[in-house]
Amino acid sequence: MSHVFHRNPKMDLPTAVGGQGMELIDSNGKRYIDASGGAAVSSLGHGHPRVIKAIQDQVAQLAYAHTSFFTTQVSEDLADLLAAAAPGDLNHVYFVSGGSEAVEAALKLARQYFVEIGQPQRRHMIARRQSYHGNTLGALAIGGNAWRREPFLPLLVQAHHVSPCFAYRERLDGETDSAYAQRLADELEAKILELGPDTVAAFVAETVVGATAGAVPPVADYFKRIRAVCDKYGVLLILDEVMSGMGRTGYLFACEEDGVVPDLVTIAKGLGGGYQPIGATLCTDRIYDAIVGGSGFFQHGHTYIGHATACAAALAVQQTIVDDGLLDNVRARGEQLRGELRAALGDHPNVGDIRGRGLFVGVELVADRATKATLDPARKTHAKFKARAKDNGLLLYPMGGTVDGVRGDHVLLAPPFIASPADIGRIVDRFAQTLNDVLPR
Ligand X SMILES: Cc1ncc(COP(=O)(O)O)c(C=O)c1O
220 binds ligand X (CB under 6 A): no
Of residues 6-25, those binding ligand X (CB under 6 A): none
Name the minimum Å distance from CB 264 to ligand X: 13
Based on CB atoms, which residue is closest to ligand X, 134 or 345?
134
Among 116, 206, 340, 409, binds ligand X (CB under 6 A): 206
Q: DSSP letter string over 151-205?
A: GGGGGPPP-EEE----HHHHSPTT--HHHHHHHHHHHHHHHHHHH-GGGEEEEEE
**Amino acid found at 184:** L
Among 54, 74, 78, 103, binds ligand X (CB under 6 A): 103
83 binds ligand X (CB under 6 A): no
3-state DSSP call for residue 14?
coil
CB 338 within 8 A of CB 132: no
39 backbone dihedrals φ, ψ, rounded to 5°: -110, 65
Largest CA distance in the chain: 64
Based on CB atoms, which residue is closest to ligand X, 262 or 438?
262
Among 134, 218, 306, 415, binds ligand X (CB under 6 A): 134
How are strands ordered across the β-sheet holding 31-34?
A: 16-20, 23-26, 31-34, 394-395
Q: How far apart are CA 173 and CA 424, in angstroms?
A: 34
Among 48, 92, 133, 333, binds ligand X (CB under 6 A): 133
Among 23, 221, 240, 364, binds ligand X (CB under 6 A): 240
268 binds ligand X (CB under 6 A): yes
207 binds ligand X (CB under 6 A): no
Angle, vertex CA 8, rays to CA 6 and CA 11, nearest 5 = 100
243 binds ligand X (CB under 6 A): yes
Q: How far apart are CA 43 and CA 34, in angstroms?
A: 10
242 binds ligand X (CB under 6 A): yes
272: Cα separation from own chain's centroid: 13
413 binds ligand X (CB under 6 A): no
The footprint of ligand X on this chain (CB under 6 A) covers a number of residues equal to: 15
Based on CB atoms, which residue is closest to ligand X, 164 or 189?
164
Among 100, 145, 309, 329, binds ligand X (CB under 6 A): 100
Name the minimum Å distance from CB 134 to ligand X: 3
Footprint of ligand X on this chain (CB under 6 A)?
Answer: 39, 98-100, 103, 132-134, 206, 210-211, 240, 242-243, 268
